[in-house]
Each structure stands twice: as structure tokens, then as C-alpha cells.
Structure 1
């Protein structure tokens, strides 16, 4: 199209090459049940809470959000998904500010996942090495804990994901699907191992807790508070903030999905699978160890006593141990694999609206937005340096999760306005529920020290606060600068937000 046209061209050029399985696996990687079963939740639970009950409550409270994403994806199936919904309901300024902040928060999260990928490998190798008496594996585990190796391994893993996407867009989706299927298979096998040991669990697990040095004292039960529904509800924000709400991946690539119904499947099916895996995984842990033992280990040794390490520790079959360990790593890798795809689509969508340079919409012969992927790689490798300099400072960036909660609240408000305008009462009801829910989660994210936005004394973490503020400010400045630049060229980018982008 011409320089004075609203969009950069008449068609996005992206190919409708994403099938139903790819659509499902993309959001499954986004929600990442396997990482939730690792150390995202259990080390942080309060006394008296039961995780699997909180997982069921969290799933129920997220169903209205799934309806919102399914409904709007059916009406507006475009690259960028909820960025398009927000920017067309409100304006380009808010849409760009929110979407850019979300991408910066997500990139920081991906960088941390890439950096701590080596810690997951170390955990697997250490557990197998200690259980099977293979000292070399324990030695390798200790080596991988060094920051320089964590950086190099993280950069390599992320580079592989980027490389697949650059070579061919379809390969990027295949990478997400294959890694997700392997991860799910390993998770199911780990559950089977746990289920087979329910009858004599404490005998079977004794070697693991002994070699790890986490055997509880004889009077451990007296230190565990009785079950509390209030405490269980207190687990809900941890589950919700790190697992269920993250369903925007498949709608963000809707223009590439072969059928609109596949996008809807890609919202509800991953949510239900995630709910089933998280609930059943933790349910088996509680059934096996009992309430008092399980909560004692989670609260006191939660970074060692996990779903994955326990499953590995219940068997001396080395191939089986390795496969379950690979399953955990595949869950970690799937986060990076889906992240590469989704980051590129949000930036592509904003560039298509002329907010970012037109170069970010250019596709190579493989149908891939190569320059956007290159930008992603540079940004992530830069953020990967942060943990090398200061691990405690880097982990404080987990507190930026508040950006996601605010973002989803804005999406819910946009859905409410859309429902009101288009007389969709069910959408309006779902939106009201989710606005209240995300308001609650936002409050938790900024007041609960577990999420690193505030310190234990209630004061904001300066690194997290600065990161969150700058994410929004830079997004706003990018839009204003783009608007000024395009106006000088005779293009009013506000016009783009008065119509739906072409496919």
C-alpha cells in the first residue's frame, strides 16, 4: 500500500498454516502446568492450605475469562488478538501501552526461564545422581548452577527456538507442539508412578528424602496447621497469577489458524487440560504423603520436594527417571517456544498499525517475521545478563507479573464495552466477573511479598517498581513518537484504530 495508507499493506501475508493441535498446544505451553507442578506454587503456600482444592477454585474462576477470549476470538480473529480488541475498543494509545508493557514483562519472564533452565536440569541430574549413586551427575548439576553456564545454556536454548521460527513459521509451531506432547506424556507417566506407590509411599520415598536431607522430625505433624479454607483461598493468587489466566497466546495468532473454531479450542481445551494436570498432580501428592507430611515438605523444603523430584525419587529405573526429567525440561522449553511465536505476533500487529517500524512486518520465504524475531533475540539476550549480575535482582522481576493482571483486567473492561455495544449479555456478565477477579489479583500482586513487588516490610521493591513503571511509560512514548513521526509524513495512525486490520 502507499505511504499514506492506514496500514502498512493490504494483507498481513501470514499463512493460515496452524492446525487444531498447534492451537491447543500453544496455549498449553502458555499456561505451563508442568512448571506449576515444579516450584511455581508449592514452596509458597501458607499454613493450612491445600493446593489441589485451590486449583479447582482457580479453574472455575477462570472459565468466564475463557469465554471472553473464545467469544472475541470468534468475532475478531486477527494477529495480536487482545491488543486489537483493546485498541479498537478504546484507542491506539492504550492498546499500544498495554501490549508493549505485556511484551516487556513477558520477555523478562522468558529470560528468567531461559536462565533458570539450567537449574531445572541441575535438579533432575542431582535427584537421579543422588538416588542412583551417580556422583558425576551430581557434579554436573553443581557446575550448571554457575551463572556463566546458566547464561550460555539459556542463550543456546532460546537461540534454538528463535532459529526454528526464523527458518519457517510452521516449524516454530511444530516445536511448541512436539515439546508440549513430550511434556504431557512425561507428566502422565509421573502421575502413574505416584499412583502406583500410594499404598507404601512413605517407605518408597524414604530413600529420596534421606539422600536429599529433608527427612522431617518425628514431631513434624505438630508444626503443620490444620486445613483452612481461608488459607486454601490464599493459594489461589499464586496459582492464578502463574498458570490459568495466560490464555492469550492462541488468540494472538488467530490470523494464522486454519479455522476460527480451532482458536476457540485453543482457549478452552488447554485451560481444562491445565486444570486437570495441576489438580490431579497435587491431589496425588497429598494422597500419597498425607496432608501433614505433604504440607510440611512443601513449606519447609518446597524447592527440593516437588512433584517431579518425588516421581523421579520413587523409582530406580534410570530410563524412566530420565524421561520424566526430560518432561520437566520440555515444559520449561515450551514456555520459550511459545513465547518466541507470540512475542513476534504482538510486535507484528503493532508494526502493521504503523506504531513500530514497517520492517517488523516483513516476512521471509518461510513466512516468518524474521526482523521481529531478531529483535526478540537481542532483547532477551540483553535481559539474560541481569541474572548474571544479580540473581536476587533478577528474580525481583517476577513481581512484574502485576502487568499481566492489569492487562487482563483491561481486556475484561474492553469485553464489557464490546458486549454492551453489541448486546451480548453473557459476555457482559463474564466481563464483570473477570474485572472483579483481576482487580483482586492485581491487589494481591502488589501487596503480597510472595510476588516480589513489595518486600516483607510492605515497601515496594525498587527494581520491580522501576521495571513496571518504565514498561508502561516506554510503551506510551513509543506510541506518541510514532504518531508524531507518521503525522509529519501525512499519516494519521489513529485512523487504523477505527477499523479491524486486514488478514
Structure 2
């Protein structure tokens, strides 16, 4: 359990700082700077120095937000959430009331003005980035199912806050957890599907594919070098750069409300491992606001050299390809532990409200955990064996394996040290704390 949690919620989040920085660059800094005509800013943040700068902005912002305490950060998140919803609603309305011909006209004009694209950029994007692959002529279930592992990269994040549930009011009621987690997944899926439908209707599916292909493949001759951010594309319906700027700025609230999560869950995991005596006691120290500042330092400081390597070393970017895969492995470990809980710790399971629920005599927690485990194993298999998902890189797999080995070494050393101090960590980890 420690090895999976340490790697999947501690080590790996060091590497998510520069990944978050990329989101900051392509969804906030680049579009806002382009609207303002600050081409030098756009260029800077696309270079190694800019990527490292953005990474430090992410790390500092996350540290500040967490140091404010959960209550204050929750208020900030609430403001960002409702503001972001307003921006998203505007995007939905713009895509709903306008047609594809309206978008083509707006895109050709604004891409030339804002992004420096040549005339008729829409058609040229289709020509440069379009794919000639033959698609199925009828309903094809198997290829559609193979899209699921790709979507899981996105859907895993809806329940990323699970490690914080001990600090959420009413978290002891598992039904509220089901509503919160299940509701998050359903809402995210429905909103995502609705946005894709509107993109297909108004922006054009072939164009959106071509624009993304041109960007991620770095195709020569592409009329637009910027990532086709849907928020910016929707903003192009406005002739006014002021309105364009306002819409993209409001949409950026999604990022600023979310940025603290890069360290938030991890600090709680570090705190818990120190509380369980695997890490030294000082790692669990908190200030008067309950902020685990030592755990925060264990996140912030290592993220700096890792961000530097990410920005200035081409190979290191490849090492991070499995950053989400590692988190899926952690989820798999949790699912397996939940499946065997009724037999491994029957007294703890029997005292839980979920013990009342069974399916054909099988504990509900076991049935659901087995199904989820099978699903995750399928996804992990496809990620590891199919090139189309873009993560089956041997270098990244080796790097992630090294992280697991480091976690094992930490645990073994902790076991030996605590044993010398007269403490058996096996007994400590044999119980589930009431918290």
C-alpha cells in the first residue's frame, strides 16, 4: 500500500508540475498574450526558459494556495468554479447559436488577426492536418470500445480528490461519497460529450482533428501553430479583442481553481505516511492552520529540478509519458484491497455501513472492486501494448519502475529503523485508523 501510494500520489506529482505548466501555457498565457498582440510573450513561453518559468509559477501558486489552509482554498475554488461555469456556459451558447459557416468566417478573420495565420486558414488546416485513413462503413463496436482507454486518461481525474475526503464534511457517510464521486464522473462525462457534440456541429469535426494533428505532430506548413483551444476558438466569434480577452480570462479560472491540486492530495499522503511512522515524525508537522508545511516542502523542492529537466532536456519529457498510468496502478491497488477487505479484515468491514449491501450474496464492495479491477487491467494492457495511446515507451516504463524501487527502499529502511526503535510497522499497517 505504501509503495503504490508513495509513487502514485507523491513522487509522480513532482512530474505533474511541468505538465500543469503546459496547461497554463496553452490555455491561459498563450491565448491571452496573442489576443493582446504580445508575440514575444507567446514565443518566450514556448521555449525552455518559458516552460521552466511556467512550472515555477505553478509550484509557487500551488504552495501559496495550500498554505492558506483548506477552508480558504475551498472558498477560492468555489469562486473559480462558478466563474468557470459562467465562461463555459458562454462557450456553449456561442457554439450553439452559430453555424459552421459562421465559424469558418470568424476563424479565418481572427486567426489572421490574433495568431498571424494566412488567409483561408480553415481550409489550409484541413489540407495540412487532415487524415486520409479509411473509417468503418457501419457501426463498429470493437474500435469504439478501444477509445475507452483513451478517455480513461481524462476520467480518472474526476475522483482525484479521494485522498482529501477525510477533511470533507460528511465524508463518514459512504452514500455521500458515492454521490460526490459518481456525480463528478457523470457530470464531467455529460459536459464533455455535450462540448464535443457542439464542436462537431459548429467548429467541424474534421477541422478539429486536423488542427490537433497539425499541432501535436508539428506538421510543417500548418497555418496556425497554436493549440486549438476550444475556449479561444469560441472567443473568435467576438470581433472585439476585449470580449475575447474577457472570455478566455474567465475560462482560465478553471486552471487557477485546480492548480493547487498538484500538491494538495500529495501533502495529505506524505502526512499520512509520517503519521504511520514510515517517514520521520517531522514530515507530519503542521502550522496553526493545519497546513502540513513539511509535507509541502517535500513536494515543492523536488519539483524544481524535475521541472528544469523537463524544460531543458528532451529525453526527460519522454520519461513522464506514464504519469497517468502510475495513478491508474494506484487505483488498481486500492480496488484489490477493497475487494478482499470483507475477508482480510472482517471486523472492520462488518462495522461499516456498506456491509449491508450485497449482490447475489457477494459483498457489494467486492463485486464493484472486481469489476473496476478488470476494467483497469484492460486499460493498462492496452496502454502497454498499443502504440496509439502514446504511452508504451520503454524509457518511461523503466523510469517509473525506478520510482517504485525507490519507494520500496524507503519502506524497507523505515521497517528496519522502526524495528530498531521497538516498533513493528506491520502491526501499524494492519489496522485501518478511524479517521
Regarding TM over 0.5, the answer is: yes
Q: Shift in Å at residue 266 of structure 1?
A: 3.1
Give the whole-Å Cα distance in 1 for the aligned partners of 2:72 and 2:283: 19
The residue number in structure 2 matching 1:488 is 420
Pick the aligned partner of 2:132 from 223, 238, 245: 223
The residue number in structure 1 matching 2:201 is 287
Contact 1:413 1:431 in 2 (8 A): yes
Distance of aligned partners of 1:358 and 1:387 in 2 relative to their CA distance in 1, 3 Å threshold: same
The residue number in structure 2 matching 1:273 is 187
Pick the aligned partner of 1:478 from 410, 417, 420: 410
Contact 1:182 1:327 in 2 (8 A): yes
The residue number in structure 2 matching 1:120 is 27
Q: Shift in Å at residue 381 of structure 1?
A: 1.6
Q: Shift in Å at residue 342 of structure 1?
A: 0.7
Give the whole-Å Cα distance in 1 for the aligned partners of 2:45 and 2:125: 35
Q: Shift in Å at residue 152 of structure 1?
A: 2.4
Give the whole-Å Cα distance in 2 for the aligned partners of 1:179 and 1:283: 25
Distance of aligned partners of 1:482 and 1:433 in 2 relative to their CA distance in 1, 3 Å threshold: same
Q: Shift in Å at residue 441 of structure 1?
A: 1.2
Q: Shift in Å at residue 115 of structure 1?
A: 5.3
Contact 1:400 1:467 in 2 (8 A): no
Contact 2:131 2:210 in 1 (8 A): no
Distance of aligned partners of 1:159 and 1:450 in 2 relative to their CA distance in 1, 3 Å threshold: farther
Deviations along 1:240-262, one digit per CA (max 9) or x if unpaired, are 12x21234433312221121255
User: How does the TM-score come out when normalised to structure 2?
Assistant: 0.81
The residue number in structure 1 matching 2:221 is none
Contact 2:126 2:210 in 1 (8 A): no
Q: Shift in Å at residue 496 of structure 1?
A: 1.4
Pick the aligned partner of 2:18 from 99, 103, 111: 111
Secondary structure of 1:282 counterpart: helix
Pick the aligned partner of 1:194 from 95, 104, 124: 95
The residue number in structure 1 matching 2:108 is 206
The residue number in structure 1 matching 2:151 is 239
Structure 2 alignment gaps of length 5 or more: 217-225, 350-354
Contact 2:32 2:249 in 1 (8 A): no
Structure 1 alignment gaps of length 5 or more: 1-94, 130-135
**Coordinate RMSD, CA, aligned:** 2.8
Contact 1:111 1:381 in 2 (8 A): no
Contact 1:116 1:150 in 2 (8 A): no
The residue number in structure 1 matching 2:429 is 497
Deviations along 1:82-119, one digit per CA (max 9) or x if unpaired, are xxxxxxxxxxxxx0000011021232123321355234
Give the whole-Å Cα distance in 2 for the aligned partners of 1:117 and 1:343: 20
Distance of aligned partners of 1:452 and 1:336 in 2 relative to their CA distance in 1, 3 Å threshold: same
The residue number in structure 1 matching 2:229 is 306
Contact 1:119 1:144 in 2 (8 A): no
Q: Shift in Å at residue 306 of structure 1?
A: 3.5
The residue number in structure 2 matching 1:413 is 336
Contact 2:335 2:370 in 1 (8 A): yes
